[in-house]
């Protein structure tokens, strides 16, 4: 068999396997979650260089090589998930795929320092994409506890920061292997609450210093790895 035939045979086998799983599945579940998140690890580290020089605002940039990826405040997010429930005889198991969009601003003291210097501060965005498994056991029609685990990739995006619109830093998006664990309960069939920990991976952040009328400064523009995490409280709606 040539390469094209091998790919075709693999696609047919995958389709047959998927159809077999779907035939055994008890139910398809589409879920939407609202997240409240708290940063952990280095993501939560305090930024201390908050004393801008009023005579030279160019030197004020607390989110620099040593601190970018830190100083995050509490944030919010949204998650979409699709999965198939399988009856295990002693509960139900659901393989799932999900994607989240999480936003964190900087802590209030860092934002105030930027504002005092007339500077624009960056924001943090994480987009974790996970494959995982969720186990649920129905105690009764109202209380249906669950536990789950997932693995995948996190994409970390930092918006640019600027000073008086003539000096700014651009940060390149990064990605890293991530994971999550969670537990909670369904309240009936269509609503759930849960507590999760998201390990968003170790990210090296690259950035470039840009300014009008000057040569770009690209020296020392790779940070040491930043360990990012979020503790998340989720309210889910299931369809």
List, for residues 178-189, the tens digit of each pLDDT value: 999 999 999 999
Is the model's pLDDT at 168 over the cut of 90? no
Is residue 198 within 8 A of residue 229, CB to CB? The reply is: yes
Q: What is the pLDDT of residues 39-85, one digit of tens each?
A: 999 999 988 777 655 555 555 666 777 788 899 999 999 999 999 99
Count CB atoms within 10 A of the CB of residue 221: 16
Q: What is the pLDDT of residues 18-46, one digit of tens each?
A: 555 555 556 899 999 999 999 999 999 98
Give pLDDT, residue 120: 83
Nearest one of 101, 95, 107, 94 to 77, comparing CA atoms: 101
Is the model's pLDDT at 4 over the cut of 70? no
Give the up-direction half-sphere exposure of residue 38: CA atoms within 13 A in the CB hemisphere. Answer: 5
Give pLDDT, residue 121: 86
Count CB atoms within 10 A of the CB of residue 113: 20
Give pLDDT, residue 213: 58
What DSSP element (H or E) covers 210?
strand 207-211
pLDDT band at 17 (very low <50, low <70, confident <90, very high): very low
pLDDT band at 206 (very low <50, low <70, confident <90, very high): confident
- Residue 187's contacts (CB-CB under 8 Å, 6 or more residues apart) are 142, 143, 144, 193
Give residue for tokens 């077999």. 20
3-class DSSP assignment, residue 140: coil
Give pLDDT, residue 10: 47
Share of the chain above pLDDT 90, in %: 54
Is the model's pLDDT at 204 over the cut of 80? yes
What DSSP element (H or E) covers 238?
strand 226-238
- In the chain, what are the domains? 27-238 (2.40.160.20)
* 75-to-40, 106, 132, 163, 233 alpha-carbon distances in Å: 12, 9, 24, 24, 11
Give pLDDT, residue 20: 54
């Amino acid at each position: 068999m040539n390469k094209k035939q091998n790919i075709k045979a693999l696609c047919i086998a995958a389709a047959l396997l998927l159809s077999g799983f779907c035939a055994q599945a008890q139910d398809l579940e589409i879920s939407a979650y609202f997240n409240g998140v708290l940063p952990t690890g280095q993501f939560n580290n305090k930024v201390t260089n908050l004393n801008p020089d009023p005579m030279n605002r160019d030197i004020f940039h607390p989110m620099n090589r040593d601190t970018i990826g830190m100083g995050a405040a509490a944030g919010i997010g949204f998650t979409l998930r699709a999965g198939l429930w399988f009856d295990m005889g002693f509960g139900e198991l659901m393989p799932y795929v999900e994607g989240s969009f999480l936003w964190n601003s900087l802590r209030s003291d860092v934002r105030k320092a930027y504002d005092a210097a007339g500077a624009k501060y960056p924001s943090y965005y994480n987009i974790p994409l996970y494959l995982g498994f969720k186990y649920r056991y129905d105690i009764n029609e109202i209380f249906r506890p669950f536990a789950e685990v997932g693995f995948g990739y996190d994409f970390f995006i930092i918006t640019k920061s600027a000073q008086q619109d003539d000096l700014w830093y651009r940060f390149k998006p990064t990605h890293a292997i991530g994971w999550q664990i969670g537990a909670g309960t369904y309240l009936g069939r269509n609503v759930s609450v849960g507590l999760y920990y998201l390990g968003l991976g170790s990210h090296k952040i690259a950035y470039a210093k840009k300014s009008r009328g000057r040569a770009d400064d690209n020296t020392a523009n790779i940070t040491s790895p930043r360990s990012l995490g979020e503790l998340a409280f989720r309210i889910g709606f299931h369809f």
